Structure 1
């Protein structure tokens, strides 16, 4: 995140989904390729506007890693019409909040504000889509800010450093090999010209999706999008070829030696994302499996490894299937005092093996599903989270109906489905292990 740290024919609006209060989601497309997704939610007189550019670290090559994140910073340096930090000050003066973030697959800018100020937000976003200024002294100063961000968030944080090296080892030749923030050597050599060329290539309507959720009328939002974005020309850049992950051929193990108080383990398995549309059922089964392992105090990791065996001080599992390419099912753990690293790893692998050998019980399956569904419903109650999910789905070329079918998909998963994915994906061949080995703290 910033400050330290997603045709030539107008398509008629199509009703594609309903949330809990039966809000209709409508989708439009401008002649220049800009996609507009509007979801009406009239519970409060506010609106969330998010501009998603379909470019992230997965699109970068060696030598310019981190450029998408760097450009995110530059987008707040101003245009001729809105110079310096006036963008942020303008939104703040209207009682709104704005920020941005960069991921592997997208770069996203957003505003949360009273509905009467939506037009101002769209006017400002359109201005910086086309007219961003690159002043040499400001660019150099911001690059120094980014280097300091990397030092604070990665190089001085041993667990973040381990995560970065884990992902590099797990994604040999793949799109997610490089960190979003970039390698320090590449950040150091980024030039103003590099940034301008990246901006001119990707920051165009045909690589953008505008998502608006809140107390709005979809047709009126479409009219505003036409007013402020229709005149901006499409980019002539060609969508890059896919960067599929090199098929894993065996277990990969790395060590990260850094100044730290405690060891730290990252254990990952190469698994599909929703980009593999034919594997949708398996993906939902993996989500349920993650909840069986790490879905609260009654889940297996907490119950067995932390409380019963006391081999882990903390342990968790993470799986995000909303990715453009295959991803990692990641387990991270810190051994309890006196626990040998090998014992911690063996204990985790034993829990994985149980899932492949024995069906989860009906009660356990119900709890895992309830944990997932209740969390999802809670998140979807937020207009910001609604917009976030719509943006992810649309920029990944997924059906936005998925936003409203999540519960039924999760409920359809059986114990046999969970066992099947445990057997299929949790194998040595797909495994990557990273150990943080503490060095003496001065």
Structure 2
């Protein structure tokens, strides 16, 4: 028997209340942090449901911290850390993790580089012994450089050179950031990657790979006392880098004119239009605008019921696919982006004009309160379900802390999202949508889809890469 509207509302309210209570009790009590004598911050996230632990070391250094001229060295060094140390042979760390039933990997972003292992909880000491060893005892040879340099160049070939979408995104990102290092691809410019040397890798390693520039995050079936004992044994003896400098990066100049680019590639089967705006990031103690922008991206581009899809795909039938994204978690100014893939017979110029018209109409129509409530519930549910994965929890804290947030900021974030109002979203949108502060791009090719009724794949308009994964 179908539920009455009143019964559906009651069920919706009960579900939201349950999810809110679950998250409130789960997010505050199980995180402990302390600092070792050498300046290394340690964060412990307890989850005793399974005898598993995730051990992560996050360095507050990524590709945006590189010296100009050696782009890609942060990601290059990430690969090289799997080579030999004073006590381990090349590849021995990963082999040991696998022999103990675990998995390991690493990844590099603009703002951080992180290394992790997921193993049985009783293997935590072994992981710390190996990870602390390669923090300061890496032993590289010229052969390592030649071999691994070819690996990262091939990685760029596969992920970037062979993808017109990736090449387009790379150029659009460079147009977005004229002065800041976010305009340089994480993997590096190819001509600079080809020249990366042993000295380049060691200089980055000596500068940034130190305990006072690192955060240890341990999540899973552990206690703070257990982690403290092991961390003091393995990490605390490592001396800090006394010459470590503050992360003082070049700022973007004020943008006063729209930037445009057109990228044509014969491999492109589906043209599309992108628009990106420089946007504020989540700052410690000041995350309200970022929360509003998260909700704006969901209201506009959140799946089939997003405002852009409703207007451009279903009502006007001028698009096959639309989306919006916002990367709020960033050390410096980030971006808010829009995509539109035009329908058959609609030019890129027409699609762009339709997008502008719909954005202007959105500012007049405002935000549908019922849809906003549904989005909030979906976000709340996702945050609750995320707690089933200790690695996701560890990543949430590790990435946030390396990007300038505090534990308090991270734990307050879910409630800030729930507190966003329709007016907050419209204020953020009006401040954001200024063509004179935007980068608009057209990706074109000779071919067009033959079946206009076929749904566009979301991968037709990929977002710029946020991380480069090692293995």
Could you say whether these structures have the same fold, taking a TM-score greater than 0.5 normalized by the shorter chain as the test?
A: yes
Distance (whole Å) between structure 2 residues aligned to residue 401 and residue 371 of structure 1 = 23
- 1:394 matches 2:427: no
Of the candidates 115, 140, 144, which is equivalent to residue 138 of structure 1? 144
User: Could you tell me whether the CA contact under 8 Å between 1:355 and 1:422 is conserved in 2?
Assistant: no
User: Could you tell me whether the CA contact under 8 Å between 1:174 and 1:246 is conserved in 2?
Assistant: no
Aligned to 1:305: 312
Task: State the Cα distance separating 1:439 from its structure 2 match.
Answer: 5.5
- 1:229 matches 2:250: no
Task: State the Cα distance separating 1:306 from its structure 2 match.
Answer: 2.4
Of the candidates 384, 393, 396, which is equivalent to residue 377 of structure 1? 384
SS at match of 2:321: strand
Change (3 A) 1:287 1:79: same
User: Could you tell me whether the CA contact under 8 Å between 1:264 and 1:335 is conserved in 2?
Assistant: yes
In the TM superposition, what whole-angstrom CA distance separates every residue of 1:405-438 from its partner, at most 9, and x where no partner exists?
3332122111111111111111112211121122
Distance (whole Å) between structure 2 residues aligned to residue 131 and residue 18 of structure 1 = 42
Distance (whole Å) between structure 1 residues aligned to residue 409 and residue 201 of structure 2 = 35
Aligned to 1:284: 291
In the TM superposition, what whole-angstrom CA distance separates every residue of 1:231-279 from its partner, at most 9, and x where no partner exists?
111112322423222221121101222232221322101110013754x
Distance (whole Å) between structure 2 residues aligned to residue 91 and residue 293 of structure 1 = 44
Change (3 A) 1:270 1:203: same
Q: 1:311-350 counterparts in 2 under 5 A?
A: 311-350=318-357
Aligned to 1:44: 50
Aligned to 1:187: 193
Q: Structure 1: state its 5+ residue gaps.
A: 1-16
Q: 1:155-174 counterparts in 2 under 5 A?
A: 155-174=161-180
Q: 1:182-221 counterparts in 2 under 5 A?
A: 182-221=188-227
Of the candidates 213, 235, 238, which is equivalent to residue 245 of structure 2? 238
Aligned to 1:9: none
Distance (whole Å) between structure 2 residues aligned to residue 344 and residue 384 of structure 1 = 40
Task: State the Cα distance separating 1:364 from its structure 2 match.
Answer: 2.0
User: Could you tell me whether the CA contact under 8 Å between 1:23 and 1:39 is conserved in 2?
Assistant: no
SS at match of 1:297: helix
Q: Structure 2: state its 5+ residue gaps.
A: 1-22, 449-471
User: Could you tell me whether the CA contact under 8 Å between 2:28 and 2:411 is conserved in 1?
Assistant: no
Distance (whole Å) between structure 2 residues aligned to residue 23 and residue 115 of structure 1 = 20
- 1:118 matches 2:124: yes
Distance (whole Å) between structure 1 residues aligned to residue 108 and residue 251 of structure 2 = 21
Task: State the Cα distance separating 1:162 from its structure 2 match.
Answer: 1.1
- 1:264 matches 2:266: no
SS at match of 1:176: helix
Distance (whole Å) between structure 2 residues aligned to residue 96 and residue 22 of structure 1 = 28
SS at match of 2:181: coil
Distance (whole Å) between structure 2 residues aligned to residue 21 and residue 204 of structure 1 = 29
Q: How many residues align?
A: 424
Aligned to 1:129: 135
User: Could you tell me whether the CA contact under 8 Å between 2:103 and 2:118 is conserved in 1?
Assistant: yes
